[in-house]
Amino acid sequence: MPNFGYKAGLQNVGSYQVSGRPFASGSIDAMSPAASAPVAVRFPKVTRWVVVSNAGSETCRIGFSSNGVSGSSPAIAYENYFLTVPPQTMTQPLELKVTELWLSGSNSVDILAGLTFIDVTSINNAQVSPSGSNWSGSVGV
């Protein structure tokens, strides 16, 4: 008897039409000496949407790779692939299909996300993402 192992994948519309399973992580310090490199927030499932709140006193950079949020020079292409969230503000819900976000620059960042039931391995594999994890979201990274 055949075994059909169907499961929801990245193109499964229903996974993005329903409310997301809640995910929250608060008071992330992406500025301490221990966090001299960007900090990764990894999600247990593929996200449907993400909200980033910056409660700190410095601007927070949000990106999809470590290199994407590390840069400061327009001369190097991969060094400016990030969004900024000013102090004491938050983003609108970002409709993002990701398995991780990278943060830098603020000592108090909160993440709220709606998760699908899609496994992270749907994105974290060499066929979908050449780096093997997430979509870099950055050219040349």
What's the pLDDT score for residue 17?
A: 83
What's the pLDDT score for residue 140?
A: 47
Residue ranges covered by each domain of the chain: 14-122
Query: Between vectors from CA 74 to CA 68 and to CA 80, what angle results, nearest 5°?
Result: 20
- pLDDT, tens digit, 9 for 90 and up, residues 3-50: 776 777 777 888 888 888 999 999 999 886 555 688 999 999 999 999
Query: Between vectors from CA 137 to CA 132 and to CA 141, what angle results, nearest 5°?
Result: 65
**117: three-class secondary structure by DSSP:** strand
What's the pLDDT score for residue 74?
A: 55
- Give start and end residues of each alpha helix (H) in 7-74: 14-17, 66-70
Asked whether the predicted pLDDT for residue 82 surpasses 50, the reply is: yes
Maximum pairwise Cα distance, the chain: 61
**30: three-class secondary structure by DSSP:** coil
What's the pLDDT score for residue 133?
A: 58
C-alpha 2/C-alpha 65 separation (Å) is 41
C-alpha 15/C-alpha 61 separation (Å) is 28
Q: What is the 3-state secondary structure (H, E, C) of 1-53?
A: CCCCCCCCCCCCCHHHHCCCEEEEEEEECCCCHHHCCCEEEECCEEEEEEEEE
What's the pLDDT score for residue 71?
A: 67
Looking up tokens 């040349």 gives 140
**DSSP tag of 90:** E
Tokens of 88: 């004491």
What's the pLDDT score for residue 110?
A: 97
CATH topology of domain 14-122: Jelly Rolls (2.60.120)
Looking up tokens 């870099």 gives 136
What's the pLDDT score for residue 120?
A: 85
- pLDDT, tens digit, 9 for 90 and up, residues 89-141: 999 999 998 999 999 999 999 999 999 998 888 876 665 555 555 555 555 44
